[in-house]
Amino acid sequence: MADDPRVIDVCQGQNVDPALAKGGATFQWQHNLDDPNPNPDWAAILVDIPNPQNSQTGKFLRNKGYVEGIPVVCHYHFAADGTLTIQTEYEKNQGQERCWFVTDDFRVRVSTVKMMNGVNLMTYCSERRCISQEKLQEMIQLNRGRAFA
Q: Residue 81 is part of a domain; what is its CATH number?
A: 2.40.128.20
Mean pLDDT, residues 2-17? 88
Q: Let me know if 14 is exposed, middle or buried by CB neighbors in 10 A (0-12, 13-18, 19+).
A: middle
Kindly report the backbone phi and psi dihedral angles of residue 66, in degrees, each rounded to the nearest multiple of 5, phi listed first. Answer: -70, -45
Query: According to the model, what pLDDT value does residue 38 have?
Result: 66
Whether 83 shows a pLDDT value over 80: the answer reads yes
The domain in which residue 124 lies consists of 5-147
List the beta bridge partners of residue 134: none
Among 28-37, 71-80, 104-113, where is mean pLDDT lowest?
28-37
Whether 40 shows a pLDDT value over 80: the answer reads no
pLDDT category at 138 given cuts 50, 70, 90 is confident
pLDDT category at 140 given cuts 50, 70, 90 is confident
Query: According to the model, what pLDDT value does residue 133 have?
Result: 82
Query: According to the model, what pLDDT value does residue 58 have?
Result: 96
Distance (Å) of CA 75 to CA 46, 86, 143, 149: 12, 6, 19, 20
* Angle (nearest 5°) at CA 28 between 67 and 49: 70
Give yes or no for a contact between 41 and 57, defined as CB atoms under 8 angstroms apart.
no
Mean pLDDT, residues 69-80? 91
Q: What is the domain count for the chain?
A: 1
Farthest CA pair distance, the chain = 47
Give yes or no for a contact between 61 and 44, defined as CB atoms under 8 angstroms apart.
no
Torsion-angle region of 124 (φ positive above 0: left; ψ -120 to 50: alpha; else: beta): beta
Give every CB contact of residue 137 below 8 A, 6+ residues apart in sequence.
Answer: none
Whether 35 shows a pLDDT value over 70: the answer reads no
Whether 144 shows a pLDDT value over 60: the answer reads yes
Question: Which one is predicted more confidently, 41 or 83?
Answer: 83
